[in-house]
Each structure stands twice: as C-alpha cells, then as structure tokens.
Structure 1
Amino acid sequence: MIEAAEASDLTYFALAATAAREPVRETPRQAPGELPEVLGGRYKIERLLGVGGMGAVYRARDLLREQFGDPEPYVALKTLSDDFAEYPDANALLYSEFALTARLSHPNVVRLFGFEVDIPSQRAFITLELLRGLTLDQLLCERPEGLPWDELRGIAIPLLEALCYSHQLGVLHGDLKPSNVMLAEDGLRLFDYGLGQPVEGLLPGLPRLCRSRIAAWTPRYAALELLEGAPLSAAADVYALACVLVELASGQHPFRRLSAKQAKSMELDRQLQRPAQVPLHCWQALRTALAFDESQRQIDCSELLDAFRRPPASRLRRWLGKA
C-alpha cells in the first residue's frame, strides 16, 4: 500500500485514477529551463551527452534499478532544451516524438523505454537506451578521406533498412544527418526523431511542430522543398540520407556543406563526381536522390537500399557489357 505522503513522488500517469477522485493539489512550477537533479523521483542525471535542434540528452542512473542490484542501471534521458521548454505545448511535442518512435521496433532504430513528466518541474522526458560508440560525424573526423566500399556498404545497408522500416510504418525522420546515426557496440542505430512527423492520416490526434514558429532543420541536409516551406515527406528524408552517404564515401558533403537553396543557385549539382569506390549503379541511385527538385527525385528508400544490396559488376561483366 502506498501512503499519501509517498504518492506525490509518482508520475501523473501512475496516479491518473486517484487524481480523478481527489482534489488536485497545486504544485509550484520551477523557472523554465531549470532541470532537477533527479527527474521523476527516479532518474539521477549524471552528465550531458549532447544537444540537438530541440532536445538535450543526458546520461542518467535509474535509482530504482540500482536499488534492486542491476549492475547496469544507466539510461539516456531526453528532455527539451531550455529554449524550447518555455513553449506552452512543449511537453505535448515531446510526447509526439515518443509516440512516433515507440511504434518502431527495429534493431537499427534506437529503443525507447518510456515517457514521463516530472511533477515539481513540469518537465517531460523520454527514457531510452544508452548508446555507446561513434556517431557518423565523429567517424568522418577520423576518416576525412571517406570510407572504402565494403565499410561504406556495411553502414549504408542497416541505415537504409532502418529508414525503410520507418517509412513503411508511416514515420518520417525529418533530421537525418551524421550526428543522428551511431555505430553502437551492438550495431548501427538511427536516433532523434524529434523533428519527425507521421505520414498524412497516421496518428491524427498527435500535436505537430509548427514550422512557421520553429525552424529547426539542419540546412545542409534539408531538401529544397523543406527550406521553401513544404511539409516533410519521405522524399526529403531520401535527399538527406543521400547527402550522408556521399559524405561517408568521399569525406566531403556533396554540396560543400551549403544548403540546397544555395547549392542550386550555384548549380553545384553539375559538379558532382562519383567517388572512385562507389559502383556506377549506386552512384546513379544517389545522383537521383540528390536532385534539388522533388519532382525529379524519383527514387524511394527501398530502391536506394536495393542499389546498395546489389553487388558491383565484375570486370568481365563490365567488359562484356561494353562489348
């Protein structure tokens, strides 16, 4: 039995039934941006792991698991960064990310554990698996000349499989870039669906990010139509992923780290060159995926995956083809 004095330490959702019968007690809210040392009476924040477009991710210790002797009581904990926490619908938007990502159960997509609200601070947070490894932007710093074909293919295939799976379930990522992909100890993980959206008609009750109020795209990976105000689409995810794969292959962003709008005005697509280790059929697929105009980007994630799964033609086959 839980005594009344202990009940205030539990989350709102755990007390939903009780709250319907008892008068609501006002809980003073902390100043926006003030994050407690322990969230939800359970998760002790240890250190900041990273800050993205809207959220901040921390390493935290699950005190309940620790109490029961779990030798690895660590989780990652995501909450909105201080600036975004001030918005009145901030917690609802974070829940939207949780509801989208929680639908996904794939070995190459980050695993989410739960969504909670810390009552005293009114800060919502997501608990998820703590990943250890290199993100692709860190890998690129170590390998500035790009990756050989076998290594590139070993990263491209699970990443494409993760995105294809997401799209099949109606979930758009919205912020594909090297820092949102990790080579974890037990395999690649795609993470941070904070700018993601469901495809039209899926989960219609979820709140959606107001793009006119919050412009959080990463410009050098954002498709031209996004920069011009169009809604997120699967084609925009394909453009971003193609940028990432070309960057892994060559060590250089395909458009000099410029936005699609800048690159189009400079006609940089005319200067694209195939990295030597990338087979011709894969380059043709990537070149199509990099089209600035959405109407010319006539390739989807599954077709890009098929291209990387197909082995390169042997020298003899190439010679016979020319003959």
Structure 2
Amino acid sequence: MSEQLLDAPPLASNEASDLTYFALAATAAKPAEKATRPVLSELPEVLGGRYKIERLLGVGGMGAVYRARDLLREQFGDPEPYVALKTLSDDFAEYPDANALLYSEFALTARLNHPHVVRLFGFEVDVPSQRAFLILELLKGLTLDQLLCERPEGLPWRELQEISIALLDALSYSHSLGVLHGDLKPSNVMLAEDGLRLFDYGLGQPVEGLLPGLPRLCRNRFTAWTPRYAALELLDGAPLTAAADVYALACVLYELASGRHPFRRLSAKQAKALELDQRLQRPEQLPPHCWPALRTALAFDEAQRGISCAQLLAVFRQPPPGRWSRWLGRH
C-alpha cells in the first residue's frame, strides 16, 4: 500500500517517485457535484459488527490496510482469528463510485485461486458508517522493496530464480484469466511465511469483454500509475494491457538481479529521452540465457515488447547451460 492521491502532476524532479500517482481529471464528478450516498462517518472500532480493528498496517492515497480480529471466528475458538482489512481513504471515499471501484478489486482478485496471489475472503459495507472494506488474508513477511534494502547488490541466481518463477507464475495465471494487475512494483509483492504473494489489484482491470458489468477504473477520469514502473504507453494515456504489466514486471526482475532499477529510477518517458535503453547491460547475477527475454520485456515501445509473462516464465525456469553445453555452443 503506497499510493498517493494528487490533483497535480508528479514531482518535477528527474527521479520518478515509487508511489502510485493519481491525477484526477477535470471530468471527475466530485462529491459536492453529485451526492449519491450519505456522508461517511469516522472509521468505527468494529466494522460490520464483526471485525475489530487492532492497528494500521499501511496507508496511501487510495486506501488503508488494518490488522483486525474476526470476532466470530474468535467466538468459535479459532486460534488464529486475524485478518487484514482494506478500506478507502477519506479523500478517495468521497467520490460517489469509490465503493464500486473497491468492489471491482474484490471481483477481480476473487477470480484468482493461486498460491502466489493474495487470498480475499469477502467484500462488505459497514452500514452505519457507509464504509466499504475488503477482508484479506493477513500476510507476514518482507515486501520485495524491503528485501532490496537488505540486498543492495541483488540476489544470487538460485534465490532470484525462485522468486522470479513464483512472481511470473502468479502474473501469467492472472493474465490467463483476463485479469491485469496495473500497478506491479516491489512494494506490492511479499515474501510471506508460506511463500510469495502478489497483492493490491486496486488498479487492476479485466481485459476487454471480460466481466462487462464490472465497475472499471475510468482512465478518462483517473490516470493511475507508479512512474518508475509504468510502461511508456500508459504515460501517454493508452489503456492498460498485459504488455504494460510485462514492462513493470521486467523492471522488478532487473532490480532483483542487480539491486538497481534498470533506468536509474526514472520514468520510461524520461529514460527514453536519455536513450538509457541503449546502455542496458545484463546484470552479473542473471544467467546469459535469460537476458534476451528480459531485455525484450524492457522495451519502451509496446510494439517491440513482444513477449508474454508465460514466455518469460518458460525462460526463467530453464537451468543455465553447464560448462560442457557452453563449450559445444562455442564450437
């Protein structure tokens, strides 16, 4: 959870923020212009008459995540009655369709039954406070941005391969069901106690034609991205596609392999202007057989990014060729 809600362009500095950026277009219907539901009250101590909030876990412009106790499970003797609750922030929740967007996140993520995608248990609205919220599994562990702080030189191949395969498998599975993530970055991936989890599909969307009745994040009203992981076409106003997810994922994989962002933490637009893609080199800890695929996934132009998550996954699953194989290849 590291979003930011803004009504102005991103920071003017050369370095792109790693926070999710929301630009509210002039066409956005504000609450004062279109009041369709009662005014929100303060977040209650117990949501839905069942979930007792214990403490804040993370906060951003779009929402906040809390640790909570499920009082019903506790009443029946469950020794682990703890869950995570995601609610909308006050500013974002004031928009008339904000609850529908939170439900959209639930509807998309609930379709996904994968060991490396966060599990959602439900979507509810606390009637007295008019607060919508998601109930999720409570995760414990390091997010990948925290891991990178501990490992500034990147990860050795065996560790890198294990994390990469789990993450690629999760996103490939999502894409196979027509679900796009929309905000892939190290802080949205956790190494939990029982394995990797990809989470926060808050900016996700279904591919065209899937779930046609589902509320969608209207990008004519909200432009949402995390600058340093956003594909160039998103920055230019194009709709979210699987190829944009591939670019973001490739940036994360490069960062895990080298300890640094592939384009000096700049946005794709800034990096392209500086022709930083011409200076890209294979991270030392990434085997040579993986580099052509990862380099393709890092292409600025969508037309040149001709590789899918499933294809990247197949490459990363291959073991590096042994010394004998390399000798045969040279001769």
**TM-score of the alignment, normalized to the shorter chain, above 0.5:** yes
Q: 2: distance between equivalents of 1:30 and 1:256?
A: 44
1:134-164: CA deviations, max 9, x gaps? 0000000111110000000010001100001
Q: 2: distance between equivalents of 1:210 and 1:237?
A: 18
Q: 2: distance between equivalents of 1:53 and 1:97?
A: 16
Moved more, 52-61 or 294-303: 52-61
Contact residue 175 and residue 195 of structure 1 kept, 8 A: yes
Which SS does the other structure have where 1:274 is aligned?
A: coil
Q: Does 1:321 align with 2:329?
A: yes
Number of the residue aligned with 1:244: 252
Number of the residue aligned with 1:38: 46
Larger Rg: 1
The counterpart of 2:282, out of the listed 268, 274, 277, is 274
Q: Does 1:220 align with 2:236?
A: no
Q: Does 1:296 align with 2:304?
A: yes
How do residues 142-157 of structure 1 correspond to structure 2 at under 5 angstroms? 142-157=150-165
C-alpha displacement of 1:177: 0.3
Contact residue 61 and residue 92 of structure 2 kept, 8 A: no
Give % identity.
Answer: 84
Higher helix share: 1
Contact residue 166 and residue 196 of structure 2 kept, 8 A: yes
Q: 2: distance between equivalents of 1:318 and 1:156?
A: 24
Q: Does 1:208 align with 2:212?
A: no
Query: How many residues in Structure 1 have an aligned counterpart in Structure 2?
Result: 295
Which SS does the other structure have where 1:216 is aligned?
A: strand
Q: Does 1:119 align with 2:127?
A: yes
How do residues 40-79 of structure 1 correspond to structure 2 at under 5 angstroms? 40-52=48-60, 54-79=62-87
C-alpha displacement of 1:318: 1.3
C-alpha displacement of 1:53: 5.3
Q: 1: distance between equivalents of 2:233 and 2:221?
A: 17
Amino acid at match of 1:233: T
Q: 2: distance between equivalents of 1:66 and 1:179?
A: 31
C-alpha displacement of 1:52: 4.3
C-alpha displacement of 1:63: 1.1
TM-score where L is the length of structure 1: 0.89
Amino acid at match of 1:48: L
C-alpha displacement of 1:314: 1.2
Contact residue 255 and residue 261 of structure 2 kept, 8 A: yes
Contact residue 30 and residue 120 of structure 1 kept, 8 A: no
Contact residue 168 and residue 313 of structure 2 kept, 8 A: yes
The counterpart of 2:203, out of the listed 189, 195, 198, is 195
C-alpha displacement of 1:212: 3.2
Which SS does the other structure have where 2:225 is aligned?
A: coil
Moved more, 63-72 or 141-150: 63-72
C-alpha displacement of 1:276: 1.2
Q: Does 1:135 align with 2:152?
A: no
Contact residue 40 and residue 130 of structure 2 kept, 8 A: no
Number of the residue aligned with 1:305: 313
1:181-238: CA deviations, max 9, x gaps? 0000000000000000000000000111122332331010000001111110000000
1:265-320: CA deviations, max 9, x gaps? 01010111111121112111110000000000000011100110011111221122
Amino acid at match of 2:102: L
Amino acid at match of 1:78: K
Number of the residue aligned with 1:4: none
1:63-106: CA deviations, max 9, x gaps? 11111221111000011122211110011111111000000000
TM-score where L is the length of structure 2: 0.87
Amino acid at match of 2:133: F
The counterpart of 2:166, out of the listed 152, 155, 158, is 158
Number of the residue aligned with 1:24: none
Contact residue 110 and residue 191 of structure 1 kept, 8 A: yes
Contact residue 29 and residue 120 of structure 1 kept, 8 A: no
Question: What runs of 5+ residues in structure 1 fail to find an aligned partner?
Answer: 1-27
Amino acid at match of 2:143: T
C-alpha displacement of 1:54: 1.9
Number of the residue aligned with 1:110: 118
Moved more, 92-101 or 213-222: 213-222
CA RMSD of aligned residues (A): 1.2
C-alpha displacement of 1:254: 0.4
Q: 1: distance between equivalents of 2:202 and 2:52?
A: 23
Which SS does the other structure have where 2:296 is aligned?
A: helix
Q: 1: distance between equivalents of 2:280 and 2:114?
A: 33
